[in-house]
């Protein structure tokens, strides 16, 4: 099986940890010895380096002692940094989420760092800004340690730490009154370039970067700025591992329209699963397949360099990028992963082979985070081939599983047919157009079925004997029964029309020639003419108008009195007027009509009206009333 490509091979996302040498075999090889001359030179370099480091450390320690009164960690806290605005130190209990070797990097840290847990780790940092300390220690996954720091110029342990305020800043987060910010970009860049500064927590929060504050001594050096010194912990770069347990593929031949799933299992917990493709028809001289390169990526500079086997130090020396698939879940730690792809996604042109891909060898690899990929191993190699593209069979041609019919046809009885047509249609597989049914669109070339008419202005098949509003079965419903007197009706719904002679008035069938109070048979009653039924005289007695008989009028009325004339009309009367006549002409008297006033206590069957008349002269009077 094939070696993995070099570190410059690319995938659909940036991969920086792909195994390095393209000529690498998936088996262990003996390591070469370093030439004695080189080892001697290296030894001299290390001696010189140690001496230099010793000189640097002693210089820094002496300088720290000399400048302690004005160093950042010795400045008194600013006025206004009261208890309410001081940051609370984070838990000193830190957890290492995964196993590995831990490095640490410091800024302005001289003294002792002690980690107490499953074992006790004592670190003695060299002072400076920044410093990659040479000491390392190993941890197991999930181990928790309590950390404390005692600076060499202080009599108590440091007050504690808080996370970095922002990416490259240490300092108080609650109030600037507690101190200034400190730039830790140089320290953070150094740590990030030489370790993995993730995977260490305190109380569930990241604890790789720690901004520390001085010891609380109760003197002028006491502050709460958390900018005095900084510590960053990171995992040392891991070596490649033999993590393969097994790999599998669910199809060895993939046809057009099909999908295929690659699966692999590691012998440990990992979070990244990779599947690199190699062309079994494009081999190295030793017989191993070369990487499959796809796309039009430019040729990388390292492709001009050769490895110890004379192969380019890149996977795709003619351009393109190495075809590598991966499980999209790169977060969850687990032993198994998989990825599914399709025939169409793999049916590509291999620019390194100069031909279409036909057969593929998949090498499965594993990694954790941004760490290196595992070694290639025989147990994690699978194979597959892509079936050749087949020209679809057309109408009435023979067909089978390997010779499928064209779109719209189905293989029926070994022959491609249009399954929506009858089996007797054996020519073009274009089904004859059936007559259009009720409510379907129609035209001269698409006629309606028997009994239906294609309505020209609509282009819809209808029953021409039904109203155009019938849009369901084209079976005409029976005509609605007209509504009779006093039934509900609607002027907008033809099915709620009133019978002949009636009108829909206010949602009720009525005889419009009758009054609205007629609510029974809608037969209008015979109209009644207004009529006057009685005229009487009333005089004022004891403050009340009293009607008197005609025989008492002469004795009861004298000149200067005012009388009331009362008249009674029938129910249809709307107005009554009165007139007094003095026939003997004893005095000037001009008879005139006066409109009567409707008495408020009148009923609905008869109505009483009255008018007041003064008697200005003696004599005979006659009174007349008219109902209008």
Consecutive sets of 10 residues in the chain, 628 residues long: mean pLDDT of each? 37 38 36 34 32 30 31 51 90 92 94 96 94 93 95 91 94 92 94 89 92 84 85 87 96 94 96 97 94 92 77 88 96 96 95 95 92 92 91 86 82 84 69 82 86 83 73 74 84 76 82 67 73 81 87 84 84 81 57 81 73 81 80
Please return the burial class of 575, using the count of CB atoms within 10 Å of its CB with bins 0-12, 13-18 and 19+.
Answer: middle
Give strand pairing partners of 275: 325, 364
**Contact criterion met (CB below 8 Å) for 547 and 608:** no
Residue 158, domain extent: 79-235
Q: Indicate whether this model's pTM tops 0.75.
A: no
| pLDDT score of 423 | 61
| pLDDT score of 79 | 65
| pLDDT score of 185 | 94
Let me know if residue 151 belongs to a domain.
yes
Q: Tokens 């001085």 identify what position? A: 214
**Contact criterion met (CB below 8 Å) for 109 and 147:** no
| pLDDT score of 460 | 86
| pLDDT score of 227 | 93
DSSP letter, residue 179: -
Let me know if residue 14 belongs to a domain.
no
Total structural domains within the chain: 6
CA torsion sign for 313, 316, 319, 320 is negative
The rounded distance, in Å, linking the Cα atoms of 417 and 427 is 9
Distance of CA 420 to the CA centre of its chain: 41
| pLDDT score of 242 | 94
Q: List the CATH number of the domain containing 541.
A: 2.60.40
Give yes or no: residues 131 and 227 share one domain: yes
Let me know if residue 52 belongs to a domain.
no
Give yes or no: residues 84 and 231 share one domain: yes
Let me know if residue 6 belongs to a domain.
no
| pLDDT score of 44 | 30
The rounded distance, in Å, linking the Cα atoms of 361 and 287 is 13
Written as one string, the DSSP assignment of 25-57 is -SS--PPPPPPHHHHHHHHHHHHHHHHHHHHHH
The rounded distance, in Å, linking the Cα atoms of 404 and 398 is 9
Give strand pairing partners of 107: 230
Give yes or no: residues 489 and 585 share one domain: no
Let me know if residue 69 belongs to a domain.
no
| pLDDT score of 469 | 58
* Structure tokens belonging to residue 510: 């009525």
Let me know if residue 115 belongs to a domain.
yes
Give yes or no: residues 381 and 395 share one domain: no
Give the CA angle between residues 248, 249, 255 to the nearest 5°.
170
CA torsion sign for 210, 214, 216, 222 is negative
Phi, psi of 610 (to 5 degrees): -150, 165
Domain boundary, last residue among 235, 265, 289:
235
Let me know if residue 4 belongs to a domain.
no
Give yes or no: residues 266 and 341 share one domain: yes
Give yes or no: residues 274 and 167 share one domain: no
**Contact criterion met (CB below 8 Å) for 261 and 340:** yes
Give yes or no: residues 214 and 179 share one domain: yes
Q: List the CATH number of the domain containing 376.
A: 2.60.40.10
| pLDDT score of 443 | 87
* Structure tokens belonging to residue 527: 């109209």
Let me know if residue 216 belongs to a domain.
yes
Question: DSSP 3-state assignment of 13?
Answer: coil
| pLDDT score of 516 | 59
DSSP letter, residue 45: H
Give yes or no: residues 354 and 229 share one domain: no
* Rg value, the chain, Cα: 55
Question: DSSP 3-state assignment of 285?
Answer: coil
Give yes or no: residues 275 and 316 share one domain: yes
Give yes or no: residues 292 and 333 share one domain: yes
Q: In what order do the strands lie in the sheet with 205-206?
A: 120-123, 111-116, 143-151, 93-96, 200-202, 205-206
Give yes or no: residues 367 and 274 share one domain: yes
| pLDDT score of 324 | 97
Question: DSSP 3-state assignment of 494?
Answer: helix
**Contact criterion met (CB below 8 Å) for 499 and 509:** yes
**Contact criterion met (CB below 8 Å) for 70 and 76:** no
Written as one string, the DSSP assignment of 564-619 is EEEEEEETT---EEEEEE-TT-SS------EEPEEPTT--SSEEEEEEEEE--S-S
Give yes or no: residues 88 and 230 share one domain: yes
């Amino acid at each position: 099986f094939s070696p993995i490509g070099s570190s410059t091979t690319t995938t659909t996302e940036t991969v920086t940890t792909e195994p390095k040498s393209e000529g690498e075999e998936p088996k262990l090889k003996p390591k070469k010895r370093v030439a004695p001359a080189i080892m001697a030179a290296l030894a001299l370099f290390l001696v010189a380096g140690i001496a230099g480091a010793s000189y640097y450390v002693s210089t820094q320690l002496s300088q720290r002692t000399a400048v302690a009164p004005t160093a950042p960690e010795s400045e008194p806290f600013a006025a206004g940094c009261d208890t309410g605005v001081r940051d609370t130190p984070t838990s000193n209990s830190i957890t290492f989420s995964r196993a590995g070797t831990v490095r640490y990097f410091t800024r302005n840290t001289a003294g002792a760092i002690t980690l107490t847990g499953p074992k006790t780790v004592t670190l003695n940092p060299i002072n400076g800004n920044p410093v990659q300390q040479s000491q390392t220690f190993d941890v197991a996954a999930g181990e928790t340690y309590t950390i404390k720091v005692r600076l060499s110029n202080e009599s108590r342990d440091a007050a504690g730490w808080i996370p970095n305020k922002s990416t490259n800043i240490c300092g108080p987060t609650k109030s600037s009154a507690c101190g200034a910010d400190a730039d830790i970009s140089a320290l953070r860049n150094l740590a990030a370039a030489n370790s993995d500064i993730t995977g260490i927590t305190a109380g569930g929060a990241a604890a790789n970067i720690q901004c520390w504050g001085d010891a609380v001594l109760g003197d002028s050096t006491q502050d709460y700025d958390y900018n005095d010194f900084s510590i960053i912990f990171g995992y040392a770069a891991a070596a490649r591992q033999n993590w393969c347990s097994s790999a599998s593929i669910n199809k060895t031949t993939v046809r057009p329209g099909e999908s295929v799933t690659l699966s692999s299992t590691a012998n440990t917990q990992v979070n990244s699963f990779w599947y690199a493709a190699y062309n079994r028809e494009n081999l190295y001289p030793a017989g191993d397949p070369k990487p499959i390169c796809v796309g039009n990526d430019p040729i990388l500079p390292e492709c001009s360099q050769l490895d110890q086997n004379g192969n380019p130090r890149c996977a795709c020396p003619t351009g393109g990028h190495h075809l590598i698939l991966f499980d999209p879940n790169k977060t969850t730690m687990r032993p198994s992963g998989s990825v599914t792809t399709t025939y169409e996604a793999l049916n590509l042109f291999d620019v390194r082979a100069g031909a279409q891909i036909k057969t593929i060898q998949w090498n499965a690899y594993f990694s954790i985070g941004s760490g290196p990929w595992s070694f290639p191993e025989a147990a994690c190699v699978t194979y597959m081939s892509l079936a050749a593209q087949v020209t679809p069979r057309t109408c009435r041609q023979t067909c089978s599983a390997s010779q499928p019919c064209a779109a719209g046809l189905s293989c029926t009885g070994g022959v491609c047919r249009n399954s929506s047509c009858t089996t007797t249609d054996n020519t073009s597989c274009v089904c004859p157009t059936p007559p259009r049914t009720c409510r379907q669109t129609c035209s001269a070339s698409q006629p309606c079925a028997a009994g239906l008419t294609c309505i020209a202005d609509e282009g819809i098949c209808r029953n021409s004997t039904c109203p155009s509003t019938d849009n369901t079965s084209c079976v005409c419903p029976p005509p609605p029964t007209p509504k009779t007197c006093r039934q509900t009706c609607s002027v907008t719904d033809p099915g709620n029309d009133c019978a002949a002679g009636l009108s829909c008035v206010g949602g009720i069938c009525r005889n419009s020639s009758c009054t609205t109070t007629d609510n029974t048979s809608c037969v209008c009653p015979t109209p009644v003419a207004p009529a006057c039924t009685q005229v009487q005289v009333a005089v004022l007695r004891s403050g009340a108008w009293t009607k008197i008989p005609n025989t008492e009028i002469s004795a009861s009325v004298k000149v200067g009195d005012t009388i009331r004339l009362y008249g009674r009309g029938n129910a249809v009367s709307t107005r009554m007027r009165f007139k007094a006549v003095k026939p003997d002409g004893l005095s000037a008297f001009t008879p005139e009509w006066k409109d009567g006033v409707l008495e408020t206590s009148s009923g609905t069957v008869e109505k009483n009206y009255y008018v007041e008349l003064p008697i200005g002269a003696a004599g005979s009077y006659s009174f007349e009333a008219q109902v209008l």
